[in-house]
Structure 1
Amino acid sequence: MTTRRAVVAGTFYESDFHMLEQQLVSCFRHKKGPGELPVKRGEKQIKAVVAPHAAYHYSGACAAWSFQQVAEAKFADCYVMLGPNHSGMGKSGISLSNWETPLGVVRVDKELGGELAKKSELVVDESAHSREHSLEVQLPFLQFVSKDRLKDLKVLPISIKDDINLHRLALDIKDVLVDYDKRVVFIVSSDFTHYGATYGYLPFSSDIPQRLYDLDMGAIKHLLKLDAMRFMDYVNETGATICGVLPLILLVKLLSKTEGKLLQYYTSADIMGDFRNAVGYASLVFD
């Protein structure tokens, strides 16, 4: 079994075991985080969370809200991780390698991954994940909140590009999960609007904090209602630079009979104090 080594440890998050644990604690206790560490695991069942994927200094407190939900919910047999592909490498693909972070190695669910590779358009493509940060940054959080079940922890990382039919893929994943007959929780990695000259997106130049908030809330409300069509239309109409559009659409198509909730939202400018360039971060949970 091959192992994917961490590629953004030391940049997006601490590379030392103890320093990373301290950093994660600070994310939970941050004024924009939940304010406290997760309490004991419960029997509540959640279906999915959405978490941002910037460096922990920026978005870690927001991500902590999502992983507090994971920590206090019923443990899943597999955490299926859906993320965008920033590098452009590879295809929409599954990783069947184990993944290593400074907190240790996380096992991949080869059974589920193998079935998806057989019965969907997804392929096994390690190159799609080799330089991609969006799923890697979720793993230390998942390890941290799974300390009670680390030996049982399994993930399935899936990178989503525009080379695949999301509607068909959602149906195929649902079919495979019926046969899999185990408990799955989806973790979707996405930042929201990237505003400013750095990102080539300047739809407004005044009242930026409120208008950026309103722009992202317009997208989030459609996600919470599981309305993929209106979400897609909204993104197309506004040009909102949401990097995880494709995995978010896939998630909405995968879920049904569930309720979404916004747990936290802020922007990088709320941390840095500079709205000339800002990125929106949101934490969502679907029960």
Structure 2
Amino acid sequence: MQGRESRGARSRRATHAGSWYSNHGADLSRQLENWLSKADLCHGPARAIIAPHAGYSYCGACAAFAYRQVSPAVVKRIFILGPSHHVRLSGCALSEAQKYETPIYDLKIDSEIYSQLEATGEFEWMDKRTDEDEHSIEMHLPYIAKVMEEYKNQFTIIPILVGSLTSDKEAMYGRILTSYLGDPQNLFVVSSDFCHWGVRFNYTHYEKRCGQIHQSIENLDKQGMDLIESLSPQAFTEYLNKYRNTICGRHPISVLLQACAPLARSRQCSLKFLRYAQSTQCRTMDDSSVSYASASLVID
């Protein structure tokens, strides 16, 4: 992490292309188009989406259900909130880059919005290594590029790396972002996988009344998803405190819920989960899996 004065890298490379997803633009574009064509537009236009960030072979089809709800003609700015996997961060951080590369085309960072966020005094700056090591934001960039392809010179992105926030900080960042969420020209992309289950994740919660282990995992995840749909940040926090579910994007999700709370008092807000999947179906305590879910938030 660093201060504003050491910014200067013009471009953040697509460091996970070729391993987590195709590094061939045409092939990647066709793959994303195929997944999007199989997803229904049923809860849009999205003001915010929640979507996974694993390798596309695991979660690409699931993520399509969130991105299908986006109305690209309306969107001018895209905020991307991704959890920090590799560095300890007690707040949120911005990128030092001016653009993010993808195999499809490059995405320009919104320097004006970054200046506004910096002026709050509540944001740090990522160094280049931290930025390029992190996958939670990058995994959304090709989908953004694909969905926005017809308008590729008419929008900007605002990547935000979210650390391990206290409830008070989640509320504070929510307050900062509320006005941006309220603008129909802005889209929020919240990056999160759901339960990481198994010994290798140090999490083996299992309720036998649910049936097989994978059914218990699904029940646990869907309890959390129901609370997220209720738009209650307090209820979601209580759920996390009770079950310790290993939802890696729990802090970005909580920031979104906090940002939505003031809007929900005067406007119709509806968040709906559209797809759920698991990398594998666990049946023994030696198995492991990661869950994925896609959701869309509509504000009338």
TM-score, normalised relative to structure 1: 0.87
Deviation at 1:174?
Answer: 2.9
Give the length in aligned residue pairs: 274
Structure 2 counterparts to residues 128-143 of structure 1, below 5 A: 128-143=130-145
Residue from 220, 224, 245 that aligns with 1:240: 245
What's 2:78 paired with? 79
Residue 15 to residue 171, structure 1, CA distance change in 2 (3 Å): same
Write out the 4+ residue segments of structure 1 that deviate beyond 3 Å after TM superposition: 272-275
Deviation at 1:34?
Answer: 1.4
Q: C-alpha separation between the residues in 1 aligned to 2:147 and 2:184?
A: 20
Q: C-alpha separation between the residues in 1 aligned to 2:15 and 2:197?
A: 26
Contact 2:224/2:239 (<8 A) preserved = yes
2:247 is paired with a residue whose SS is: coil
Unaligned 5+ runs, structure 1: 39-43
Q: C-alpha separation between the residues in 2 aligned to 1:20 and 1:131?
A: 21
Structure 2 counterparts to residues 248-259 of structure 1, below 5 A: 248-255=253-260, 256-257=263-264, 258-259=269-270
Residue 181 to residue 51, structure 1, CA distance change in 2 (3 Å): closer
What's 2:171 paired with? 167
What's 2:159 paired with? 157
What's 1:280 paired with? 291
Q: C-alpha separation between the residues in 1 aligned to 2:229 and 2:30?
A: 32
Q: C-alpha separation between the residues in 1 aligned to 2:184 and 2:125?
A: 21
Q: C-alpha separation between the residues in 2 aligned to 1:124 and 1:264?
A: 34
Q: What is the Cα-based RMSD across aligned positions, in Å?
A: 2.5
Q: C-alpha separation between the residues in 2 aligned to 1:152 and 1:159?
A: 24
CA deviation map 1:98-126 (0-9, x unaligned) = 10011121001110111101114112324
**Same amino acid, percent of matched pairs:** 28
TM-score, normalised relative to structure 2: 0.84
Residue from 204, 208, 211 that aligns with 2:213: 208
Unaligned 5+ runs, structure 2: 1-8
Q: Which moved more, 1:231-240 or 1:196-205?
A: 196-205
Residue 268 to residue 148, structure 1, CA distance change in 2 (3 Å): same
Q: C-alpha separation between the residues in 1 aligned to 2:283 and 2:145?
A: 31
Q: C-alpha separation between the residues in 2 aligned to 1:121 and 1:216?
A: 31
Q: C-alpha separation between the residues in 2 aligned to 1:265 and 1:183?
A: 28
Q: C-alpha separation between the residues in 2 aligned to 1:276 and 1:87?
A: 25
Q: C-alpha separation between the residues in 2 aligned to 1:123 and 1:235?
A: 26
What's 1:41 paired with? none
Contact 2:47/2:188 (<8 A) preserved = yes
